[in-house]
Amino acid sequence: MASTYTANTGIEKIGSGEQAGAWGTTTNTNFDIIDDALNGVLTLTISGNTTLTTDDGTVSNGHHKVLLLTGSPSSAFNLTIDPNDQQKWYFVSNSTGQTATILQGGGSGTTVSMATGTSAIVYADGTGSNANVGNISTDVLGDTSPQLGGNLDTNGKNINFGDSATAGTDDTLQFGASQDLKIYHHATNGSFIVDSGTGNLNISASQVSLLGGADGAETMATFADDGAVTLYHNDSAKLATSATGASVTGTLAADTAVTATTSMTTATMNATTVDLGDYTITESAGTLRIAYQGTNKFKLDSSGNLTVTGNITAFGSI
């Protein structure tokens, strides 16, 4: 009985009573084929269309499990699995600079296109002239609950989110056992940080700054630990708190009356002008002025001189 061969790897099955004196050589070749099929790594230098051949009883390039495609082909190329009646699967890495199309049979069967710089697990069904080639996804898209066994290293890359319809629907970064904190961007309405859980939304730092513009070139507000809270207009400080109160740079305007419900013992206002609607209080060069609708009515200078436009009416002692 003559030797036969396994259907997919071409390992020789020695016939009964065959190969007297050569049995050991055939067996060693079979072991080499098995070794390549299980663990073999082959570098293929690609210059154009290339064929992966699995020869019966002979070590060949189609036996290897891992295929590293290198070289500098001038254009896209085909990598053909031959023969077309063997079932195969390979780990393939394409670093040729060109797109590789992996096929078997050359008929109407499916093929796999691999861009340069990508890797894939590829299989061929070995169904003949219209054999199909497919790939097994190695990404996490098909896993509905992927988990990490350690820290996620972005390897110098970005994590990109698209536009979300509403918080938690899609493209949302979520935190907490009940997804209480959500960060997302809406295509029309801007960006959102939404806290729907118990407790406060806390931002902790030695100084927290709110910056204006996409480049952060202007300061809008700063909050310093054990220090001032400062509000800015057009990158200029206008209102700042201190240990003794608050200071205003510029004009402090009030459109409506202000009612105090607690007593005020000491107030310091570092402003050159206070606008109270119809009345304006101005301090300049040691002189205090009170104007009504733009006309000076009261002036007190640093020497104690008082000038009033109009009558002074007193009821009782002054």
- Domain-embedded: residue 34: yes
| Residue range(s) defining the domain that contains residue 281 | 267-318
| Residues pairing with 82 in the sheet | 53
State residue 254's pLDDT score: 64
State residue 90's pLDDT score: 98
Same domain, 122 and 181: no
- Domain-embedded: residue 257: no
Q: Which residues contact 98 (CB under 8 A, 6 or more apart)?
A: 46, 73, 74, 75, 76, 77, 116
Is the CB of residue 292 less than 8 Å from the CB of residue 285?
no
Q: Which two tokens stand for residue 301?
A: 């200078």
Distance CA 281, CA 296 (A): 10
- Domain-embedded: residue 141: no
State residue 6's pLDDT score: 96
Q: Which two tokens stand for residue 141?
A: 């898209």
Same domain, 36 and 128: yes
State residue 276's pLDDT score: 78
CA nearest to 116, candidates 135, 137, 94: 94
DSSP state of 31: H
Same domain, 119 and 19: yes
State residue 260's pLDDT score: 45
Same domain, 184 and 217: no
Same domain, 275 and 192: no
Residue where one domain finishes, among candidates 103, 136, 169: 136
Residue segments in the chain with a per-residue pLDDT below the cut of 70: 1, 140-143, 254-271, 316-318
> How far, in Å, are 4, 55, 73, 94, 121 from residue 82 at the CA level?
19, 9, 21, 19, 17
Same domain, 8 and 128: yes
Distance CA 99, CA 116 (A): 5
Is the CB of residue 271 less than 8 Å from the CB of residue 250?
yes
Same domain, 48 and 29: yes
State residue 263's pLDDT score: 43
* 187 exposure class (CB count in 10 Å sphere: 0-12, 13-18, 19+): exposed
| Residues pairing with 155 in the sheet | none
Same domain, 190 and 226: no
- Domain-embedded: residue 260: no
Same domain, 10 and 120: yes
Q: Which residues contact 82 (CB under 8 A, 6 or more apart)?
A: 51, 52, 53, 54, 62, 104
- Domain-embedded: residue 243: yes
- Domain-embedded: residue 278: yes
Q: What is the pLDDT of residues 178-230, one digit of tens each?
A: 989 999 999 999 999 999 888 899 999 999 999 998 899 999 999 999 999 99
Same domain, 94 and 170: no
3-class DSSP assignment, residue 29: helix
Tally of CB atoms within 10 A around 135? 18
Is the CB of residue 83 less than 8 Å from the CB of residue 106?
no
Sheet of 133-136, strand order: 41-46, 66-71, 88-94, 118-124, 133-136
3-class DSSP assignment, residue 63: helix
3-class DSSP assignment, residue 36: helix
Reported pTM: 0.54
- Domain-embedded: residue 255: no
- Domain-embedded: residue 148: no
Same domain, 62 and 15: yes
Same domain, 31 and 82: yes
Number of domains in the chain: 4
